[in-house]
C-alpha cells in the first residue's frame, strides 16, 4: 500500500485545495499538508513492496506499481519539489488559486504513476493524465498569447501520444504477449525481428521525443514557459513533466533492444545537436524564462546522449541528471517568479545590481545557477558527467560535441547572473522575506543532497539500467532478421 500513497495523498490534497478556493489560510494548509505528507511517504518507497490489482483482465491490463528502482529516486525528488511549488501557487496566484493548486497536485499524482507503473497501458494512462493539468494551467492562467501556446503544446503532445498508443497496441498484438505487463512484454518482444522492433521503437519514440523534448520537437516547451503564469509554479510543473527520457529508459529500451540499437545513432546525434543548440540559443535570450527553457532543452540533449549511449553509466547518469535538473531548473523558475513580483518583468536587461539591495536573493540564485550549469559537488554534476561518459563509450564524437554544451552552460549561467545581480543598481529591490526564503530552501537542500551523496540513488537507478543492458547484450547474440508486421 505504500506505493499507492504518492498517488492518493496528492489526490486528497487536490480535493481539499479545490474546496478551499480563495480562502488563503485553508489553501496554504491543504498545500503544505498534502505535499509534506507525500514527501514523507515517498521516503519509504525504497524497499517497499509492489502493488498489483487486476484492472481490465479481458485486455490483459493490471494496475501494477513498483516503487523500487529509478522510481524511488524520481518520486522523492518530485515530492520535494512540489512542497515549495504548491505553496508558491497558494500564496501568489490571485484568481482561482484553489483550482491552480488542485491542478498542480493532480499532476503530481500522475507523475508518481508514470514513474512507478509496470504495466504499459497504465503508464500511458498516467502519461496522458498529466497532460490535462498542464494544459489547463497554461490555457486558464497563462499570459496574453497563452491560447496559441496551448494549441501548439496540445498539437505536439496529442500527435505524439496518438502514435504512441497505436504502437503500444501493435506491440502487444505482434509480440503475442500475455498482457501489457513489463515482464510479459520483455519476454515476448525478444522474438520480434530487428526490423519490426525498429518500427515499433520509432512509434514509441515519437511520443517520448516530444516530452524529452528533442530538436525539432521542442518549440512547444519555449512557448509554454514564456506564456505560463508568472509565479513560476506552472513552469516548475513543466520541468517535472519532461518524462520522455524516462519512457525510453524504463520501457522502450528493455522491451525493444534491437530497435534501440538500430535507432541509437540517430537519437544520439539528435541529442548532441539539441544540447549544443539549446546552449547556444540560451546565450542570446533576453527573456528570463525563454533563457531557462533553452538551457533546460540543452540539459535534455545531454540526458538523451546518456540514454542512447546504451551503456550502464550513461543510463544511470541520464536518469540522475533528469532528477537533479528538476531541482535546479525548478528552483530557478521560482526565482524568476520572485523577480517578477518585484519588477513585473522577465526582461533580463531591465534588471541589474540587485545583489546590492537583495543579497540573500542573489546568493541563493547564484547557488542554483551553479547547480544548473553543472558545478562539481552540486546536484547536476554527477548525472551530467555520467551521461557524457556513457555516451562516449558508443559515440565519442557525439559525446565530445555534447560536451560543448557544458561550456555553453558556463557562458549563459555567468552571463545571466551578471546581468541580473551585478553591475550598476537601477533601483533598490526588496530582499527575500522569511516565507520566500523557505520557498527556496527545499531546492537548495535537494541540490546539496544529490550533489554530495549520489551513490545510494545511483545504486537504485542501476537496478533498472542493468535490465536494459542485459536485454541489449542478449539480443546481440540473436539472429538479425529484417521484417515488418511481425513475420520472421
Query: How deeply is 256 buried, as exposed, middle or buried, from its count of CB atoms within 10 A (0-12, 13-18, 19+)?
Result: buried
Find residue 119's DSSP bridge partners. Answer: 181
Phi, psi of 119, rounded to the nearest 5 degrees: -120, 130
d(CA 175, CA 11): 36
Q: By C-alpha distance, which of 339, 391, 389, 395 is closest to 364? A: 339
Please work out, in degrees rounded to the nearest 5, the angle formed at the alpha carbon of residue 93 by the alpha carbons of 9 and 331.
Answer: 70
d(CA 452, CA 376): 9
Return the pLDDT at 426.
78
Q: Which residues contact 361 (CB under 8 A, 6 or more apart)?
A: 335, 338, 354, 429, 431, 432, 436
Beta-carbon count within 10 A of 481 CB: 13
Q: How far apart are CA 331 and CA 342, in angstroms?
A: 17
Closest listed residue to residue 111, CA positions, set 247, 254, 249: 247
d(C-alpha 94, C-alpha 91), whole Å: 8
CA atoms of 185 and 173, how far apart (whole Å): 10
146 touches 227 (CB < 8 A): yes
Q: If you write DSSP's letter for every residue of 83-110 in order, what string do you get? A: HHHHHHHHHH--SSHHHHHHHHHHHHHH
pLDDT tens, position by position, for the chain (488 residues)?
889 999 999 999 999 999 999 899 999 999 999 999 999 999 999 989 999 999 988 888 999 999 999 999 999 999 999 999 999 999 999 999 999 999 999 999 999 999 999 999 999 999 999 999 999 999 999 999 999 999 999 999 999 999 999 999 999 999 999 999 999 999 999 889 999 999 999 999 998 999 889 999 888 899 999 999 999 898 888 777 789 999 999 999 999 999 999 999 999 999 999 999 999 999 999 999 999 999 999 999 999 999 999 999 999 999 999 999 999 999 999 999 999 999 899 999 889 899 999 999 999 999 999 999 999 999 999 999 999 999 999 899 999 999 999 999 999 999 999 999 998 887 888 999 999 999 999 999 999 999 999 999 999 999 889 888 888 777 665 544 433 333 33
Cell representation of residue 402:
555534447
Task: Name the phi and psi angles at 287, rounded to 5.
Answer: -90, 120
Strands 51-56 and 61-65, sheet pairing: antiparallel
Q: Distance (Å, rounded) from C-alpha 127 to C-alpha 382?
A: 27
* 431, 358 Cβ separation under 8 angstroms: yes
End-to-end CA distance of the chain: 43
Calpha distance 353→344 (Å, rounded): 17
Question: Residues near 461 by Cβ (< 8 Å), separated by ≥ 6?
Answer: 69, 70, 73, 315, 316, 319, 320
Q: Give me the half-sphere count of Cα atoms (radius 13 Å) on the Cβ side of residue 66.
A: 15
- Yes or no: say if 27 and 122 are a contact pair by the CB < 8 Å rule: no
**DSSP classification of residue 429:** -
Question: What phi and psi, each to the nearest 5 degrees, are found at residue 433?
Answer: -85, 175
Residues counted in the chain: 488
With left for phi above 0 and alpha for psi between -120 and 50, is residue 326 left, alpha or beta?
alpha
For 418, residues 6+ apart whose C-beta sits below 8 A from its C-beta are none
Q: Which residues sit opposite 62 in a β-bridge?
A: 54
Classified as helix, coil or strand, 241 is coil
Task: Quote the pTM value.
Answer: 0.93
Give the pLDDT confidence of 118-147 residue by residue, as tens digits.
999 999 999 999 999 999 999 999 999 999
Per-residue pLDDT, 165: 95
Cβ(95)–Cβ(124) below 8 Å? no
CA-to-CA distance for 186 and 349, rounded, in angstroms?
53
208: closest CA among 172, 178, 165, 173? 165
What pLDDT, on the 0 to 100 scale, is given for residue 246?
A: 95
Burial 214-233 (b: 16+ CB within 10 A, else e): bbebbbbbbbbbbbbbbbbb
Amino acid at each position: 500500500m505504500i506505493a499507492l500513497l504518492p498517488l492518493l495523498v496528492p489526490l486528497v490534497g487536490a480535493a481539499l485545495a479545490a474546496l478551499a478556493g480563495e480562502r488563503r489560510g485553508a489553501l496554504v494548509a491543504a498545500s503544505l499538508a498534502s505535499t509534506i505528507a507525500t514527501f514523507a511517504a515517498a521516503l519509504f518507497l525504497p524497499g517497499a513492496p509492489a502493488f498489483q490489482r487486476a484492472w481490465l483482465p479481458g485486455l490483459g491490463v493490471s494496475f501494477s506499481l513498483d516503487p523500487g528502482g529509478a522510481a524511488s529516486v524520481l518520486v522523492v525528488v518530485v515530492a520535494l519539489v512540489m512542497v515549495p511549488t504548491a505553496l508558491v501557487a497558494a500564496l501568489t496566484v490571485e484568481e482561482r488559486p484553489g483550482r491552480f493548486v488542485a491542478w498542480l497536485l493532480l499532476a503530481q499524482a500522475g507523475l508518481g504513476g508514470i514513474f512507478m507503473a509496470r504495466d504499459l497501458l497504465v503508464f500511458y494512462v498516467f502519461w496522458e493524465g498529466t497532460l490535462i493539468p498542464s494544459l489547463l494551467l497554461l490555457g486558464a492562467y497563462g499570459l496574453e498569447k497563452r491560447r496559441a501556446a496551448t494549441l501548439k503544446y496540445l498539437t505536439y503532445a496529442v500527435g505524439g501520444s496518438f502514435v504512441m498508443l497505436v504502437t503500444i497496441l501493435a506491440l502487444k498484438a505482434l509480440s503475442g504477449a500475455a498482457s501489457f505487463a513489463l515482464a510479459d512484454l520483455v519476454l515476448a518482444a525478444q522474438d520480434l525481428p530487428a526490423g519490426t522492433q525498429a518500427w515499433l521503437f520509432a512509434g514509441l519514440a515519437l511520443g517520448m521525443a516530444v516530452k524529452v523534448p528533442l530538436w525539432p520537437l521542442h518549440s512547444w516547451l519555449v512557448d509554454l514557459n514564456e506564456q505560463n503564469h508568472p509565479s513560476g509554479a506552472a513552469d516548475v510543473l513543466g520541468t517535472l513533466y519532461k518524462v520522455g527520457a524516462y519512457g525510453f529508459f524504463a520501457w522502450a529500451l528493455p522491451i525493444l533492444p534491437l530497435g534501440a540499437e538500430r535507432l541509437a545513432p540517430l537519437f544520439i546525434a539528435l541529442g548532441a545537436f539539441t544540447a549544443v543548440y539549446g546552449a547556444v540559443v540560451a546565450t542570446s535570450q533576453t527573456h528570463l524564462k525563454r533563457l531557462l527553457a533553452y538551457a533546460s532543452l540543452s540539459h535534455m540533449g545531454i540526458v538523451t546522449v546518456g540514454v542512447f549511449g546504451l551503456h550502464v553509466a550513461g543510463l544511470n547518469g541520464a536518469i540522475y541528471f533528469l532528477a537533479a535538473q528538476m531541482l535546479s531548473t525548478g528552483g530557478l523558475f521560482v526565482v524568476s517568479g520572485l523577480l517578477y513580483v518585484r519588477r513585473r518583468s522577465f526582461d533580463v536587461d531591465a534588471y541589474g545590481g540587485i545583489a546590492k539591495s537583495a543579497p540573500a536573493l542573489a546568493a541563493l540564485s547564484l547557488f542554483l545557477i551553479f547547480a544548473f550549469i553543472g558545478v562539481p559537488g552540486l546536484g547536476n554534476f554527477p548525472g551530467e558527467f555520467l551521461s557524457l561518459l556513457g555516451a562516449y563509450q558508443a559515440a565519442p564524437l557525439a559525446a565530445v560535441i555534447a560536451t560543448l554544451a557544458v561550456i555553453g552552460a558556463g557562458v549563459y549561467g555567468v552571463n545571466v547572473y551578471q546581468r541580473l545581480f551585478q553591475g550598476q543598481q537601477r533601483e533598490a529591490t526588496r530582499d527575500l522575506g522569511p516565507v520566500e526564503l523557505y520557498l527556496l530552501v527545499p531546492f537548495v537542500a535537494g541540490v546539496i543532497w544529490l550533489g554530495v551523496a549520489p551513490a545510494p540513488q545511483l545504486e537504485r537507478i542501476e537496478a533498472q539500467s542493468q535490465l536494459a543492458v542485459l536485454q541489449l547484450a542478449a539480443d546481440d547474440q540473436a539472429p538479425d532478421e529484417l521484417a515488418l508486421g511481425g513475420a520472421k
